[in-house]
Amino acid sequence: MKDKKSDILSKIGRDAGFKVPEDYFENFTAEMEKKFPEHDVIPEVKPDLWSKLRPYIYMTAMFAGIWCMMWIFNDLADKAGSDRYNSTIVAGFQNEENLDEFMLHGDISEYDIYTYEDSVAADKAKMELE
Amino acid sequence: MAYNDFNEEIIIEELRNEDTRQIAFNKVIRFYSEPLYRQIRRMVIDHESTNDILQETFIKAWININHFRGDAKLSTWLYKIAINESITFINKERSKYTTSIDDEDSFLINNLEADEWFDGDNLKIELQKAINKLPEKQRLVFNMRYFDEMKYEDISEILGTSVGALKASYHHAVKKIEDFFSSSN
């Protein structure tokens, strides 16, 4: 694609006015030729099997870690749920004598028992549905 | 270019071979020192700094020659090194002379006026002032396109920018240069 011509640029031209000393490029090449033996080329490093596999192994380890953490959290959540629904405690509360004894000597109100029974019933219903 | 015996494919093969590497690299220097010099000079303006950067460009290329895989053109690789070296130089100079990154690079124009290897008239100095006011990328695109008449495709490979964006950049640069001249008249 041709660029749009600018009047001012056409007037100035493409010579920026930069000059170089006489024989500069010939002398430059000769100077550089002398300099190269002072600088060693960095040898080519061929990647070994470990460096090729490393990113994939790291990624696999990361996913395995995430899976383990999810498994642990899930297990802990299940255990916490089963602690709330403890069949021994429930059976104990269903026995009127135990309940009276507990209310008499323990620091527990009738309201606490009702709320506990309600929550147990709700948890049980949820577990049955699952 | 005076050096006509330059076949990039053969040169790359020779660069890969340790026995022929140095002779091949001398050919690379002979072939590319002038276009690279022009590119660097337009960025850093004065001859002495250009000479230092050009030397540094070839030394870097030599040291890292094993990292050149031949995926891109040799010229593209060399231009990239030269441009990076020039930008590093300008940033260092800028931090010496200016307090803010928004300040224009007036030190470049001071270097131009003090440079014995510049023989441009006032109009050319004004053009350099106008170019100096452009953002860095537009400055690069303008210099490559206007002075070197490089193809947009080649500039695109060197700068890693799409051809469309380069055309837009060049258009904006020309517009800003015209505005600079109309406001100074």
Angle made by CA atoms B32, B36, B37, in degrees to the nearest 5: 115
- Under 8 Å CB-to-CB from B72, ≥6 apart: which residues? B157
Q: Which helix (H) or strand (E) holds A87?
A: helix A87-94
pLDDT band for position B1 (cuts 50, 70, 90): very low
For residue A44, the chain B residue with the least C-alpha distance is B66
CA distance B9 to chain A (A): 20
Residues of A with CB under 8 A from a CB of B: 1, 3-4, 6-9, 11-12, 14-21, 25, 28-29, 31-33, 35-36, 39-44
HSE, CB side, 13 Å, CA atoms: give it for residue B80: 15
Bigger pLDDT: B2 or B175? Answer: B175
Is residue B82 within 8 A of residue B53, CB to CB? The reply is: yes
Judge whether residue B166 has pLDDT over 60.
Answer: yes
Closest residue on chain B to A14 (Cα): B147
Q: Cα(B20)–Cα(B26) distance, rounded to whole angstroms?
A: 10
- A50 or A61, which is more confident: A61
B56: which 2 tokens?
A: 């540094």
Q: CB neighbours of B8 closer than 8 A, spacing ≥ 6? A: B73, B74, B75
CB-CB under 8 Å, A28 with B51: yes
Instruction: List domains and CATH numbers for chain B.
Output: 1-119 (1.10.1740.10), 121-185 (1.10.10.10)
Contact list in B for residue A39 (CB cut-off 8 A) is 59, 62-63
> Range with the lowest mean pLDDT among A53-57, A86-90, B49-53?
A86-90
What b-and-e string marks burial along A76-102, b requiring 16 or more CB atoms within 10 Å of the CB?
eeeeeeeeeeeeeeeeeeeeeeebeee
ipTM for this model: 0.78
**Are B124 and A19 a contacting pair at CB < 8 A?**
no
Instruction: Give the percent of chain A with pLDDT over 90.
Output: 20
Question: CB neighbours (10 Å) of residue A120?
Answer: 17
Select, from the ranges A32-36, A71-75, A92-96, A98-102, the one with the highest average predicted confidence (pLDDT): A71-75
- Look-up of token digits 């602690």: A83
Selecting from A7, A21, A31 the residue whose C-beta is nearest the C-beta of B117 gives A21
List pLDDT tens digits, range B117-164.
888 788 888 999 899 889 989 999 999 999 989 999 999 999 999 999
Interface test with B, best of A27, A32, A35 (most B CBs within 10 A): A32
CA distances from A77 to A70, A71, B89, B118, B160 (A): 10, 10, 60, 79, 52
Q: Which residue of B has its CA nearest to A30?
A: B26
Six token digits for residue B161: 């920018």
Interval B23-65: pLDDT, tens:
899 999 999 999 999 999 999 988 999 999 999 999 999 989 8
Residue B68 contacts A, CB cutoff 8 Å: no
